[in-house]
Amino acid sequence: MTTPSPQIATLRRRTMATRDALAAFCAASARDDDATSLADDVALAEIARAIADGARAVLDVVVDLEGFLTATEPKPRARATEILAHVAEECAMTLDDRAVRTLSAFFASRLSDFASTASAARGAEALVKRANAEAIEATSRALFAECDVQGLRQSDREACVRLAIEMLRSAHAGACARGAGDGEPNEALARIIGAFDGEKDPRCVLGLCEVWTLLPGAFERFGEGGKAVYEENAEELYDVAASYFPVSFKPPRGDSIKISRRQLAEAVERAMTASPTFAPWAVAHALESLNPELGPGKMADAARAVRAMGERFGASVMEEYMGIVWQAMRAALAHPNATKMEEDDDVQATTPMAVMTTMFASEFTRGTLARAALTDQCVRDAEVTLRRMANDSSSDDVDGACAMETSDEGCCGGGCGGGSKSSGEEAARGKLVVATASRVLGAVAAATPTLAHDVIHGTLKSLLDAAKIPREIDGLHSSKAAYLALILATPALGGALDCCERNAESSVHMSVLDDESERLVGLFADAALGKIESPSFDEGIVLGLAGLHMLCKFPYRFGLASAESRVAVASKLFDAMMAQHVNESEADIEVRIERSIDALVAAASGADAKLVDAMSTGAVALLADKVTVTNLQTVEATRAIRALCALAAVNQMIRNDVARLFCGVVRDAIEIGSPNAEDLVSAMCRDDDGVLTRFVSSDEAQRACADLTTFCLARDPATTAESTVRVVASAVANCDDATQARFAAEAVALSREKPLMACAVICGLRPQAAFEATHMVAALDELTRSRGDRGFSMFVAAAVGSATHKFPSVDFAPPMEDLTDERTTFVLGACLRARAMRRDDSSPSDALVSCLVRALDDSSSPEASRGAAMALSMAVGFSAAHRDIGLGLKSSTHASEKFLACQRFFTKVAPTLIKGAYEAVGAKRLSRSYAVVKLASGVAPSVALSSQFNLFPLLPDVLHALTVGTLAGDDDAVRAALLLVGARLAEPALYDAGSEGATEQNAVALIDALCAIATATSTMSMECREHALDALVAASTLKFSAVYPSRRRALDAAVVACDDPKRRVRRAAARARQVWLKLMTST
């Protein structure tokens, strides 16, 4: 007997393996479920690989499956069809033509088999690109004529929709249409519509809209009569395609399908614009939804739909509908809903007005919409109204008739405010007319820079002329029409600004303001100064400042066109900020100052270099004149300092000038012993926006910092204030390397005579500063031995921390003998923070932590234990009371913190503390628990409450001790504990699954502690009382059995807190009272 070759042997093994795989897969049909197991996936992969490799022929597989394909039970047929569908999906491009024809015919015949429809549709879809026209016709006939698509389950219907889409996208789309109707176009339309009509599931609707979008192309390739039949039935086809518009779908919470309303709306939009023959019905239908009463979401969808129709139907089709489009848009623009955001949770959500604005710039309008808007009746009415108001010479005589009146109803039907109306009615009516026109102008101006220019220089210019608004900056705006001109110009300018900001990077730049710059600056400036009469005094000021802010925000070459207007806007903003108005409330003053500063900042931070120069030589110079050593406590100086700090934060050149100014003024104030420099020093050293906390760059500014430092180092140490230490540290941080080296040598030498100045210099040094390490160690040793008040001790600790963090070569051992001494606690806390910031794992760092942990267990000295806990907590940050200890550990003094340094320190130290707390009892347990709570204040609650730490059971005892026990008086620890409790109770994700019931076990103790804090008006801060009440609200969600014993206690505490002197606490108490009162009435 002849031995087969290795190739033949391998082929036989593969054949047997394939037959085994077929049998294994089809045998799974005996299962009751429809799930596909891992074994099924392996079997399918083996079959597909055998066919792809040529080990088996497709026809052989069909023969092998014959028994299953012809079975009377549905499941075997479905499983066998699934095998062939998988083969088609995996091997579609490698099958020969005969196999493609065979499988296509098979799948077409199986579409009507209810059990096999989904698999057959998937297989047919996979073969569409390889199938010929006859196969596509047969498949289409089976799908639309023989298959009851609407009778299938959702997943099967979705598979049929995908098959239809693939056939309509193919090169044989015409064959698909012919097959659907057996060659009759009318029958084809009826069958296709009937197959999918009435679909409700969003997953299927998405695909179905694509079918309607592709259908016109298929009927164009149908053959004779196809296109004509489609056009004859266009109205019915549009009704079907648009039946889902407007879209009201809202995804359910926790939706796993992730279909958004926007996706559906865009799909329906494509279906509605599938064919230009839809235009007679589509435009009017979409405009019906441009109805403000339907809300901003549907308004925006309608505007998008109309825009899409124009883009796809073309200008020639849309030309006859521009009239009704504009009428609907005008009504929509006049309604407040036009400027409201859509209600979608979508980053691309916008307002209806923003969508309509884009239509003015669309090519399909050919400028028709813009011309219609700018010549609309509402604009003409506004012009008549403004002219009438401007011509009224007396503010009391408001009942005169319009000069153009030709009837008893007024020149424009009363739209201008004419006729015998009262002053209030006329003002209200005029405001309404002008506001409507302003929205139209704003929408047009926001479209393109060219349209913005046309709006400003054409329509707005003529309207301002009608209102008799002077063209000069300092012209008088005493006309009654000036206020209406403000209402008119503000939206128009806002629309132009939006447009220019979008086109800031374009190659074409043009000033949209041009020769209207001076007039607009003058109009808004007079309003900002309160010179224009308005219904409420602050309204005119707010509008004026808003207008000046917009003028300052225009991108380079788009905004103010003249040097006079740039200089004027700077000086007018200064005047507006410094103005004093009679009977102006504190709140209104704050709003005015804030808006003025915002406008100045916008000008100084923009890309318009000419405007920035005008700010530097104009507003900044005017503000600097207000800051002198003799007037630091005046209102003008306070406002000027505030504005200069804001400007310095956004512009480096201004920062250099302001730093030089402030350094000089502070030096003069120190020299004459003025006590009024506190605000100025704070402005220089604040963490968020201090002038010196962002480094200066000019030589002049650095010299000013060096001169200030030199002056302070030479002063009598008895006159050194804490504010001087802070400002010198910031000044040293801004000096160059050579100057810092000189100051470092002086500080070391002065550590005994002038310790505070030595501390300031050490805090401001760069890590690369040059000095003798041994001299620095001696200086630090001298400083730690010095005596002084609490502030002195914190600055000494700051110097030690700064040197420890920046100069690892400085081997200084901090004193650790007496932790009852606050000075020792500060120094150790600063050292620990300095090492934690650079994630120091050296033995000195570990020894320091071990020393503090041991001190926690010193039951003989509670003060030492508490000091150790405080020092440990400083490793993750300093409280507000101890912020001066971090003077040399801030980025503004050249310190740096490595990524997740605090979290890393917590995860390193907390397990030891928590383990010791669980193993200890009494004071030792409380001391360790207290330390870990203070340490947790520097990390996120999700980290501190992680299951690996098991911190939560320790919190009730700590809260009790912080309230009435030995730890009372530590507000920071109370706040940290409350945040942890509130986070645990309010966020189920923080519950530890391994300690089920731990929260309920501690519920009574927790609620008692929270109640005590919530009612401790005299000893607890407002923030702590509020947090406690919020935690009480969260505690009410625990199991009823856990909170039952404390119901009365919690309710009583909430009732007492309702009389708290602070409003925030009373509001939190009201929420707590409501939830606990409900629990009291539960049975």
- pLDDT: which is higher, 627 or 26: 627
| pLDDT tens column, 760-781 | 999 999 998 888 888 889 899 9
Torsion of CA 34, 39, 45, 46, to 10 degrees: -130
* Cα separations in angstroms, 835 against 506, 832, 840, 902: 50, 5, 5, 11
Question: How far apart, in whole angstroms, are the C-alpha atoms of residue 592 and residue 658?
Answer: 23
Q: Is the pLDDT of residue 96 over 90?
A: no
Residue 582: the pLDDT is 83
CB 728 within 8 A of CB 763: no
Mean pLDDT of 614-619: 84
CB 453 within 8 A of CB 493: no
Question: How far apart, in whole angstroms, are the C-alpha atoms of residue 230 and residue 257?
Answer: 34
- pLDDT: which is higher, 965 or 746: 746
| pLDDT tens column, 529-573 | 888 888 887 888 999 999 999 998 888 888 888 888 888 888 999
| pLDDT tens column, 394-445 | 344 444 444 444 444 444 444 444 444 455 676 778 888 888 888 889 888 8
Mean pLDDT of 89-115: 82
Confidence band of 841 (pLDDT split at 50, 70, 90):
confident
Token couple for 151: 């009778």
Residue 644: the pLDDT is 92
Question: How far apart, in whole angstroms, are the C-alpha atoms of residue 1040 and residue 1063?
Answer: 30
Strand partners, 514: 560
Q: Is the pLDDT of residue 843 over 60?
A: yes
CB 513 within 8 A of CB 559: yes
For 639, residues 6+ apart whose C-beta sits below 8 A from its C-beta are 577, 578, 593, 626
For CA atoms 283, 286, 290, 296, the dihedral sign is: negative
Instruction: Please tell me whether residue 32 adopts helix, strand or coil conformation.
Output: coil
Residue 347: the pLDDT is 65
Which single residue is written with the structure tokens 């089809």? 26
Confidence band of 215 (pLDDT split at 50, 70, 90):
confident
List the one residue out of 793, 762, 798 whose CA is nearest residue 778. Answer: 762
For 966, residues 6+ apart whose C-beta sits below 8 A from its C-beta are 862, 923, 926
Amino acid at 803: A
- pLDDT: which is higher, 905 or 43: 905
For CA atoms 151, 155, 156, 160, the dihedral sign is: positive
Domains and CATH numbers, the chain: 10-91 (no CATH), 644-735 (no CATH), 791-939 (no CATH), 944-1083 (1.25.10)
What is the distance of C-alpha 758 from the center of its chain? 45
- Max Cα separation, the chain? 126
Residue 390: the pLDDT is 82
Question: How far apart, in whole angstroms, are the C-alpha atoms of residue 465 and residue 445?
Answer: 19
For CA atoms 383, 384, 386, 391, the dihedral sign is: positive
| pLDDT tens column, 229-249 | 888 888 888 888 888 888 877
Mean pLDDT of 378-389: 88
Question: How far apart, in whole angstroms, are the C-alpha atoms of residue 653 and residue 609?
Answer: 12
Please give the angle made by the CA atoms of 387, 388 and 391, to the nearest 5 degrees. Answer: 85
Question: How far apart, in whole angstroms, are the C-alpha atoms of residue 171 and residue 181?
Answer: 18
Residue 1050: the pLDDT is 93
Global pTM value: 0.75
Confidence band of 997 (pLDDT split at 50, 70, 90):
low
Residue 251: the pLDDT is 63
191-205, 317-331, 802-816, 1011-1025: least confidently modelled range: 191-205
Token couple for 428: 């209200």
Neighbours of 698 (CB within 10 A): 15
* Cα separations in angstroms, 801 against 235, 646, 835, 895, 1069: 80, 30, 8, 10, 43
Burial class (CB in 10 A: 0-12, 13-18, 19+), 1009: buried
19-28, 165-174, 420-429: least confidently modelled range: 19-28
Radius of gyration of the chain (CA): 40
> Long-range contacts for 28-32 (Cβ within 8 Å, ≥24 apart)?
28/79, 29/68, 29/73, 29/75, 29/76, 29/78, 29/79, 30/75
Residue 344: the pLDDT is 62
Length, in residues, of the chain: 1083
Mean pLDDT of 176-180: 85
Residue 1003: the pLDDT is 85
The backbone torsions φ and ψ at residue 772, rounded to the nearest 5 degrees and listed phi first, read -85, 120
For 397, residues 6+ apart whose C-beta sits below 8 A from its C-beta are none
Residue 34: the pLDDT is 46
Q: Is the pLDDT of residue 928 over 50?
A: yes
426-435, 658-667, 697-706: least confidently modelled range: 426-435
Mean pLDDT of 823-848: 91
Mean pLDDT across the chain: 83
Token couple for 468: 């008799």
Question: How far apart, in whole angstroms, are the C-alpha atoms of residue 703 and residue 243?
Answer: 75
CB 734 within 8 A of CB 696: yes
Which single residue is written with the structure tokens 């806002």? 494
Residue 31: the pLDDT is 46
CB 421 within 8 A of CB 399: yes
Question: How far apart, in whole angstroms, are the C-alpha atoms of residue 264 and residue 301?
Answer: 11
Question: How far apart, in whole angstroms, are the C-alpha atoms of residue 378 and residue 79?
Answer: 69
| pLDDT tens column, 866-893 | 889 999 999 998 988 899 999 999 999 9
Amino acid at 888: G
List the one residue out of 1067, 869, 847, 827 whose CA is nearest residue 967. Answer: 869
- With a pLDDT cut of 70, the percent of the chain lying above it is 87
Q: Is the pLDDT of residue 30 over 50?
A: no
| pLDDT tens column, 251-282 | 655 555 677 778 888 888 888 888 888 888 88
Q: Is the pLDDT of residue 743 over 70?
A: yes
Burial class (CB in 10 A: 0-12, 13-18, 19+), 888: buried
Question: How far apart, in whole angstroms, are the C-alpha atoms of residue 577 and residue 600?
Answer: 10
Task: Give the 3-state secondary structure of 595-613.
Answer: HHHHHHHHHHHCCCHHHHH
